[in-house]
Structure 1
Amino acid sequence: MKIIKTQNIYKVLGIFLGILLVTSCKKSQTESAQLTLSNITQAISEEGGTVGLSFTSDAEWSATKEGAEWLSLSQTSGGSGAGTINLTASSNSTGASRSVVLIINSTNGQRRRITVTQNAQIYPSYNISPKAADAAGMNSTAMELCNKMTMGWNIYNTLDAPGWETGWGQPPVTQQLIDLVKSTGMNAIRIPVTWSNHIINKQTQEIDPLWLARVKEVVQYCFNAKMYVILNTHHDGYIDCKVTGAKQDTVNAKHKAIWQQIATTMRDFDEHLIFASANEPEATTDQETATLMRYHQSFINAVRSTGGKNAYRALVLQAPNTSLTLMNEQLNPANVYKRATLPSDAVPQKMILEFHYYSPPNFCIISEDASWGKAWYFWGSGFHTKNPLFLDRNSSPASEEASVDAAMRSVKTNFTDRGIPVIMGEYDVSYHADKLKGYPADSLLALKSGWHFYAYVTKQAKVNGIVPFLWASGIFQRPFKNGVAAPAYIGDQVALDSLKKGAGF
Structure 2
Amino acid sequence: MPTPTYGWNLGNTLEPPNGEGYWGPAASEAIIDAVADSGFNTIRLPVAWDSHADQSTFQIDPAWMARVKEVVDWCYARDFYVLLNIHWDDGWFERNITDTVDPTINAKMQSYWTQIATAFAGYDNHLLFAGANEPECHTPEEWATLRTYYNTFISAVRATGGNNTNRWLVVQGPNTNWEYSDQLITSMPEDSTPGRLALEIHHYTPFPFALMEEDAEWGNMSYFWGQDYHHPTRTDRNATFDEEDDVDAMFQLMADRFISQGYPVIVGEFAARKRTDQADLTGDDLKLHLASRTYFHKYVVDSANSHGLKPIYWDIHGLMFDWETGALVDQDNARALTGGAALPPPGGGGIIPNGVYKITARHSGKALEVAGLGKENGSNVQQWGYWWGESQRWVVRHLGNNEYSIIGAQSGKALDVSGWGTDNGTNVHAWTYGGGANQRWIISETSDGYYRLSPSHASDKCLDVNGVSSQDGANAHIWAFGWGANQQWKFEAP
- Structures share a fold, TM > 0.5? yes
Partner residue, 2:21: 166
Query: Do structure 1's residue 228 and structure 2's residue 96 form an aligned pair?
Result: no
Contact 2:320 2:333 in 1 (8 A): no
Shift in Å, 1:455:
1.1
Deviations 1:173-210 (A, max 9, x none): 122211111112211100000111112x2111111111
Rounded Cα–Cα distance in structure 1 between residues aligned with 2:206 and 2:27: 31
Q: 1:307 to 1:371 in 2, by over 3 A?
A: farther
**Comparing 342-351 and 369-378, the one that deviates more:** 369-378
The match for 1:217 is: 70
Does 1:373 find its partner at 2:219? yes
Structure 1: runs of 5 or more not aligned: 1-142, 332-337, 480-484
Identity %: 40
CA distance in 2, matches of 1:202, 1:241: 17
Q: Which of the pair has more CA radius of gyration?
A: 1
RMSD: 1.9
1:488 corresponds to which of 326, 334, 337: 326
Cα contact 1:454–1:498 (8 A) shared by 2 = yes
Which runs of 5 or more residues in structure 2 are unaligned? 341-355, 357-392, 394-493
Aligned to 1:385: 231
Measure the CA separation in 2 of the matches of 1:427 and 1:414: 20
CA distance in 2, matches of 1:370, 1:194: 33
- Please say if residues 88 and 133 of structure 2, whose CA atoms lie closer than 8 Å, have aligned partners that are also in contact: yes
Question: Which residue of structure 2 lines up, in the alignment, with residue 426 of structure 1?
Answer: 269
5 Å-filtered alignment, 1:139-218, equals 143=1, 145=2, 148-169=3-24, 171-199=25-53, 201-218=54-71
The SS at the match of 2:135 is coil
Report the CA distance between 1:279 and its aligned residue.
Answer: 0.3
> Hey, what does 2:353 align to over in structure 1?
none
1:269 aligned partner, one-letter code: Y
Offset of residue 319 of structure 1: 0.4
SS where residue 288 of structure 2 aligns?
helix
Corresponding position of 2:414: none
- Give distance in 2, aligned partners of 1:183 and 1:355: 27
Alignment TM-score, normalising by the size of structure 2: 0.66
Describe the shift of the 1:229–1:371 C-alpha distance in structure 2 as closer, same or farther (beyond 3 A). Answer: farther
Which residue in the other structure is 1:30 paired with?
A: none
Asked whether the 8 Å contact 1:475–1:493 carries over to 2, the reply is: no
Distance in 1 (CA, whole Å) between partners of 2:78 and 2:140 is 42
Instruction: Give the superposition deviation at 1:275.
Output: 0.3
Secondary structure (helix, strand or coil) at the match of 2:150 reads helix
Q: Secondary structure at the match of 2:194?
A: coil
Q: Counterparts of 1:185 and 1:165 in 2: how far apart (Å)?
A: 26
Q: In the alignment, what sits opposite 2:239? A: 395
Distance 1:297 1:266 in 2: 20
1:500 paired with 2:354, answer no
Distance 1:317 1:359, change over 3 A: same
Q: Does 1:463 align with 2:316?
A: no
Residue 452 (structure 1) aligned with residue 263 (structure 2): no
Within 2, Cα distance between the matches of 1:242 and 1:417?
Answer: 28
1:295-340 Cα distance to aligned partner (Å, 9 max, x none) = 1000001111111111111100100110111111223xxxxxx3xx
CA contact 2:31–2:321 (8 Å) conserved in 1: no
In the alignment, structure 1 residue 478 sits paired with structure 2 residue 322:
yes
**Alpha-carbon distance, 1:372 to partner:** 4.6
1:476 partner SS: coil
Contact 2:17 2:51 in 1 (8 A): yes
Instruction: Give 1:154 shift.
Output: 0.3
Match of 2:171 among 285, 305, 317: 317
Give the Cα separation in 2 of the matches to 1:281 and 1:307: 27
TM-score of the pair, normalised by structure 1: 0.64
Worse overlay, 448-457 or 407-416: 407-416
Higher helix share: 1
SS in 2 for 1:287: helix
Following the alignment from structure 1 to structure 2, what is the Cα–Cα distance between the partners of residues 262 and 181?
A: 25
Correspondence for 2:487: none
Residues 1:165 and 1:183: Cα distance change in structure 2 (over 3 Å): same
**Residues of 1 paired with 2:281 and 2:258: CA distance?**
47
Q: Where does residue 37 of structure 1 map in the other structure?
A: none
1:290 aligns with 2:123: no
Question: How many residue pairs get matched?
Answer: 340
The DSSP-based 3-state class of the residue aligned with 2:227 is: coil
The one-letter amino acid of 1:385's match is H
